[in-house]
Every structure is written in C-alpha cells, then in structure tokens.
C-alpha cells in the first residue's frame, strides 16, 4: 500500500508543480479558451492543463519502476509500452486541438488510433465476465471491444468536462474506487496481474488531485481536451486491465461476488459521464444534429438552471459519483443488504439536495 500511495503523491506533486509553467506556456502559444455562448466561464482561460497531468503520470510511473516492491508490476513491458504510447498519442492529439481546434471526425480518428495502439500492444479485454465465470475472447473481438471501451470512456469524460473541477473530481473518485477494488484483488486474493490496474488507478487519482487546486472554481487553467482525453484513456485502461484481464471464475466461493462486481464496477464508476454521454447522443440525434454538436443541455447545465451555483453543481455531481461508485465497491467489503441500504439512503439525500432550490422557492411561496 505504501508504494502505491508514494506513486500517487509523486504524480500529484509533479502535476501540481508543473501546472503553473504549463499555464504560462498555454498563454504564450495562444491555447486559450475564449468565451462562447455555450460556455459557463466568464473570461478567457488557458487550456493545455492535461500536459501537466501527463508529466505527473510519467513521474508516478518512473518512480514505481524504481521501487523494489513495485518491480513485479513491470514484467509485461509490452503492455506498459502500449499504455504509454496510447497516452502519448492522445496527449499529442489534445495539444493540437487545444491550440488550433480539430473537427470531430479528426479527433475521433485519433482516439481510435490511440486505442488501437494500446490494444495491439497487449492492453486488451481478454475475458468477458458472465454470471457463471468468464468467457475468453478471440483476438479480433478482444481488440474491437477494447477500442470501443476506450473511445466511449474518452468521449464520456470529454463531454462531462464542462464546469471547473468537474471532470478531474469525477475521475479522481472513479480512480480511487478502482484502486480499492484492484488492490483487494492483488493483495488479498493474490492476483498478480491486478497490480497493473492498481498502479494505473493510483497514478490517475494522483494527477487528478494534483490538478484540482488549479482547476476549482474560479479555474486558473482548464485541462482542455489534452487532459480530458488523457484521463478518459487512463480510466478505460484501468477498466480493461482489471475486469478484462482478471479471470473472476477463480474467485468462486469468496465473498467478492465475482459474477457481479467485474460487470458492475466499471459501469458504476463512470455512471455520471456515461449517462451524460447517452443523453447527449439521444438528444442530438432526435434533433437531427451530430452527436458531437455542442449544446447547453448537459447534466451540469441542468443543475445550473435549477438554481445551483457552479461550486454546488460540481459538488452534487461529485457526490453522485461517490455514491454510485462507493456502493459498488462496498459490495466487496460488506453484505449486499448493507450496501443497498446505504445506497438508497444516499439517493434520497442527494435527490433532495438537487431539488433544494425548487423546494426553497415553493416553501417561501
């Protein structure tokens, strides 16, 4: 545990320290988000914060490779090369987009390329958990499913990145949830391959936490597509290397609910971004617009319309993510009835919190 936490803190510290120089670089090269009709921020803000997050990721990975207790994480050098190659490609794509702006098809093609590089280098969904164990996937299906998971996750995080601190906070919570579960697999149940998702999750949580102080409202810098796509790719890699490579059939007879958690957890930790993505696709398709056409009808926009401030809207979405992901992870540690009771109690509290501005108005009347 100490080694993972050390890597998390290293990634956070380097990201935090690198963000100020990256902000100056963004201003110098003109990578600045101007104010548009659909935007929430009130004045031009530098982008490119994802570059600092990438430096933090590299620092965490480099440190982990030097720790004696962590060297067993790196026997699969091809997979690590694939992960870093995919991250490098997605960051390069994001930097160009943050500076010059790219159209949706070009970004989509770049995302597919980065995902395919990871898949061909071994970061693949090898098993598909079912109710009775796991199904081994053939190579073609494995690559196609891997690319699909990566592209969907990247765009889900990109779509939800609309308020100061929102995406970084959601992904930090998701990464910590993955970390808790994969650490349980690797340490308590001896799944050595699960150490890779544990390390990815630790570094991902670190770069998000290190960036948040610069990105909370009012943000001094945005992560831009560079950061949103990077953390989306890393979150997908955590999902793939954990639930897609650990044969949960070997966990039969434990209290870990192997037939449920490998399917539930990846969906639960990205539930809010996925819901936002699905609603956006349906909404825009019904209006005969491109699914990538921007609008002001995302979940965070609706919270603002209800009367919440930016900070409160972000906090509510963070709490929803924490509730859903926490309930899923809790299934690995507590009885189902206890987890379900806590989840439904949390839902009631958060529904009331979401409707609070409306309830206040009615109460005054």
Domain boundaries, the chain: 2-296
Q: What is the pLDDT of residue 129?
A: 65
Q: What is the mean pLDDT of residues 37-52?
A: 79
b/e map of 103-124 (b: 16 or more CB within 10 Å)? Answer: eeeebeebbeebbbbbbbbbbb
365 — pLDDT class (breaks 50, 70, 90): very low
- Higher pLDDT, residue 238 or 363: 238
CA distance linking residue 115 with residue 194, whole number of Å: 20
Question: For the chain, what percent of residues have pLDDT higher than 90?
Answer: 44
What pTM was estimated for this model as a whole?
0.89
Check residue 79 and give its pLDDT. Answer: 84
List the Cα angle 199/11/14 in 5-degree steps: 165
Q: Which of the residue ranges 34-43, 50-59, 240-249 has the most confident prediction, judged by mean pLDDT?
A: 50-59
Q: Return the minimum-mean-pLDDT range out of 64-73, 113-122, 226-235, 305-314.
A: 64-73
pLDDT, mean over the chain: 84
The vertex-267 CA angle with 244 and 305, nearest 5°, equals 150
Q: Which residues pair with 32 in a beta bridge?
A: 46
Query: How many CB atoms lie under 10 A from the CB of residue 352?
Result: 10
DSSP state of 251: G
Tell me how far apart the terminal alpha carbons of the chain are, to the nearest angstrom.
Answer: 54
Which of 7-21, 121-135, 170-184, 216-230 comes out lowest in average pLDDT?
Answer: 121-135
Tokens 């349906």 correspond to 282
User: CB count, 10 Å around CB of 265?
Assistant: 24
């Amino acid at each position: 545990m100490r080694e993972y936490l050390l890597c998390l803190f290293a990634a956070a510290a380097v990201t935090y320290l690198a963000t100020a120089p990256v902000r100056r670089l963004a201003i110098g090269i003109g990578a600045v988000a101007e104010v548009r009709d659909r935007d929430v921020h009130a004045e031009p803000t530098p982008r490119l914060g994802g570059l600092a997050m990438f430096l933090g990721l590299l620092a965490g990975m480099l440190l982990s490779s030097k720790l004696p207790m962590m060297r067993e994480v790196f026997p699969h050098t091809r997979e690590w090369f694939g992960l870093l190659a995919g991250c490098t490609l997605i960051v390069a794509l994001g930097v160009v987009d943050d500076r010059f702006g790219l159209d949706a098809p070009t970004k989509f093609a770049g995302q597919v390329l980065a995902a395919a590089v990871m898949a061909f280098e071994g970061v693949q969904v090898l098993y598909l958990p079912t109710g009775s164990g796991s199904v081994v996937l053939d190579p073609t299906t494995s690559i196609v499913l891997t690319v699909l998971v990566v592209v969907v996750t990247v765009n889900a995080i990109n779509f939800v990145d609309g308020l100061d601190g929102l995406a970084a906070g959601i992904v930090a919570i998701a990464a910590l949830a993955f970390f808790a579960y994969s650490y349980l697999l690797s340490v308590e149940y001896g799944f050595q391959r699960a150490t890779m998702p544990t390390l990815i999750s630790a570094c991902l949580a670190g770069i998000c936490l290190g960036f948040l102080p610069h990105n909370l409202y009012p943000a001094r810098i945005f992560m831009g597509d560079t950061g949103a796509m990077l953390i989306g790719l890393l979150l997908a890699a955590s999902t793939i290397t954990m639930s897609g490579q650990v044969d949960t059939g070997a966990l039969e007879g434990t209290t870990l609910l192997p037939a449920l958690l490998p399917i539930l957890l990846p969906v639960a930790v990205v539930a809010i971004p996925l819901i936002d993505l699905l609603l956006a696709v349906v909404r825009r398709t019904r209006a005969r617009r491109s699914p990538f056409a921007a609008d002001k009808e995302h979940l965070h926009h609706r919270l603002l319309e209800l009367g919440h401030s930016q900070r409160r809207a972000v906090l509510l979405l963070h709490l929803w993510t924490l509730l859903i992901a926490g309930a899923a992870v809790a299934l690995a540690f507590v009885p189902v009835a206890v987890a379900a009771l806590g989840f439904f109690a949390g839902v009631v509290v958060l529904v009331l919190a979401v409707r609070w501005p409306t309830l206040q108005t009615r109460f005054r009347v």
